[in-house]
Amino acid sequence: MATAPACSPFIQTARCYARPVRRKRKEIPSHLDDLPPTMIRKDYANVPIIDSVDDVVKKLLSLEMASQKEKVKIKIQQLVEKVRRSPSDNGSFEVQVAILTAKIRTYEEHLQRHPKDKSNRRRMLMAMDRRRKLLAYLRRSRYDTFENTCKQLNIQYTPAPEYTRRITKRWLVKKAFCLKVFQEVQKLTAPERLKQRRERQERARAAREEAARCEGTPV
C-alpha cells in the first residue's frame, strides 16, 4: 500500500500560519448576574398553579430561558423597590434615577461588546445627562434623599465642574482693551455724573425742607 508523501516543513509552516486563530471572547461581568436563574418571570410568578407544574415548565418560565429585555425589566423593578417612597410611587425623582441607572448599565455592557455602536452610545450619553440633572436637583433640594439614592444604587456622583474659559493671548489683549475703553468712558462722563448726583441731592434736600415746612417744624 502506497504511503502519502511527507509534507515539507515549509508547506507545513505556511499552513499553520494561514490557519485562522480563534480569539476567546472576554467574559464581561454583567449587572444582571445577581438575578437567580431559577426565578420565575414576573408575568407568571403570581399564577396559582405555578407550584404544581413540572420542572421543565418551570425552567421554561424562569429567568434561565428569559430574554435580555425581560431580565432588565426585573432589574429595574428591583432598583425601584430600593428607593421608592411608597408602594404607589412610580414617578418620583428617585424612581427615575433608578430606571436610568439600569438602562445606563445595560448600555455600558452592550458597548463593551460592540464599541462601534454609535446609536446606543448616544442613547447612553443622553440617559447619563438626564440622570446627572436629576441627581443635581436632589442634591440641592433634599440632600438626605440624594445620599440614600446614591448609596442604594451604588452611584458615585461627581459634581459638574464650574465653567472655565481657556486663557489665550488674544483674550488677554481684548480684555485689557475693553478695560481701557471703559476707564476712558468713565473719565469723560465723570463731570456729567457728578452734576446729576448734585442735582439729585438738591432735589432731595428741597423735598425734605418742603415736607418740614408743611408740618410746621423747624428744619
pLDDT at 120 over 90: yes
Residue 15: what pLDDT? 57
Question: Domain count of the chain?
Answer: 1
**Does 34 map to a domain?**
no
pLDDT class of 12 with cuts at 50, 70, 90: low
Q: Is the pLDDT of residue 46 over 80?
A: no
Q: Is 109 exposed, middle or buried (0-12, 13-18, 19+ CB in 10 A)?
A: middle
Mean pLDDT of 104-121: 92
- pLDDT computed for residue 9 by the predictor: 60
* pLDDT tens for each residue of 124-139: 999 999 999 999 999 9
**Structural domain harbouring 142:** 42-153
pLDDT value at 119 more than 60: yes
Q: Is residue 8 part of a domain?
A: no
Helices 68-83 and 93-113, packing angle to 10 deg:
150
In a domain, 205, yes or no: no
Q: Is 80 exposed, middle or buried (0-12, 13-18, 19+ CB in 10 A)?
A: buried
pTM for this one?
A: 0.60
Percent of the chain with pLDDT over 90: 46
Decide if pLDDT at 7 tops 70.
no
Domain membership flag for residue 31: no
* Tens of pLDDT, residues 181-214: 999 999 999 999 999 999 999 999 999 988 888 8
Q: Can you state the percent helix, strand and coil of the chain, rounding each to 5?
A: 65, 0, 35
Residue 11: the pLDDT is: 58
Domain membership flag for residue 78: yes
Give yes or no for residue 48 having a pLDDT over 80: no
53 assigned to some structural domain: yes
The fraction of the chain above a pLDDT of 70, given in percent, is 83
133 belongs to a structural domain: yes
What CATH number is attached to the domain comprising 120? 1.10.287.10
Q: For residue 160, is it within any domain?
A: no
What does the pLDDT read at residue 13?
A: 56
